[in-house]
Amino acid sequence: MRKIHGGTGAAERAGEKAPLLLRLAAGMALLGIAMLFAMILAFALPAFLQPGPGGAFGWFWRPYQGEFGILPMLAGSLLLSCSALLLAWPLALAVCCWTLSAAPGLLRTGTRAGIRFMTAIPTVVYGFAAVFLLTPLIRAGLGGAGRCWLAASLMLSLLVLPTMALILEAGLKPRLDRLCLGGQALGLSKLEILWFLVLPQSRKTMLAALLLGFGRAAGDTLLPLMLAGNAPQLPGALTESLRTLTAHMALVTANEVGGAAYNSLFTAGALLLIINAVVSLLARRLAGRPGNLPGEQM
């Protein structure tokens, strides 16, 4: 550190000026978020307050009969993201453990590069490919329309898998590295160290990955819009159609300006915002706990 002091001095001096600008930037970002919340909540308020069967908290979306319930969409969002995580989270954990411990060199680099590459694939590509490749398979194999809960949930799990795998890797690798030498001296394999020593200490990392994955899954619009069928109903089976809050908003904003249907969109938006805010606050809290920082556990 001392040796490069001359170099960092200039940066430090520049850093003294930065706080004002930085604070301004941070303030503007915060203000933007606060305004977004205020706007959406203000618009959503009438729908929140309106009681009875015509309000936003009903089980039927039938605009022509004056029913604007968005509960089926809320349920759809939750069901879809949970089912996607049910598949993606164990898979992400397995992939992460494998690349960290057991995978032979070339395969490991390949898998890692592949996962990094997957984060860069736009969802519309997944959606498009699935419409032509996955839905016909589901239709032929399981019947139904093919565009269903299952199709959307499979593709969604593919979408959130790399995010979760990268978070897991970032959390587990430093701990594994630290325990590796001692563990191997005791005759444990890398996988055993990971399984018996690292994972039990990393519950928070694993939970944080789960929560961030959930946020990503619940917020995605294009995959459910293209693949889930979008019927405003509670699905009775994996092969049935469902509609998420995000897809609902995309479908209704296309045509409506004003009116009860339009207002209910703000309720949908407020719900999404609340869900994602809670999830990301939880994830940050977990990730920010001292016990979870690499280097501070034990």
> Interface with other proteins by CB under 8 A: which residues?
60-64, 122-124, 131-132, 135-136, 139, 143-147, 219-222, 225-226, 229-233, 240-241, 243, 250-252, 254-258, 261
DSSP-assigned states of every residue in 156-175: HHHHHHHHHHHHHHHHHHHH
d(CA 192, CA 189): 5
What is residue 181's three-state secondary structure? helix
Nearer residue to other proteins within complex by CB, 56 or 100: 56
For strand 61-62 and strand 67-68, is the pairing parallel, antiparallel, or unpaired?
antiparallel
Find the shortest distance in angstroms from Cβ 26 to other proteins.
17
Find the shortest distance in angstroms from Cβ 193 to other proteins.
35
Nearer residue to other proteins within complex by CB, 135 or 202: 135
Find the shortest distance in angstroms from Cβ 216 to other proteins.
8
Find the shortest distance in angstroms from Cβ 292 to other proteins.
24
Indicate the burial class of 171 (C-beta count within 10 angstroms; 0-12, 13-18, 19 or more): buried
- Nearest-10 Cα torsion for 152, 154, 158, 164: 100
Find the shortest distance in angstroms from Cβ 124 to other proteins.
6
Nearer residue to other proteins within complex by CB, 120 or 298: 120
Nearer residue to other proteins within complex by CB, 140 or 298: 140
Nearer residue to other proteins within complex by CB, 94 or 234: 234
Find the shortest distance in angstroms from Cβ 69 to other proteins.
11
d(CA 68, CA 184): 62
What DSSP state is assigned to residue 291? G
| 92, two tokens | 């992400």
Nearer residue to other proteins within complex by CB, 112 or 147: 147
Continuous segment of H or E residues that includes residue 294: none
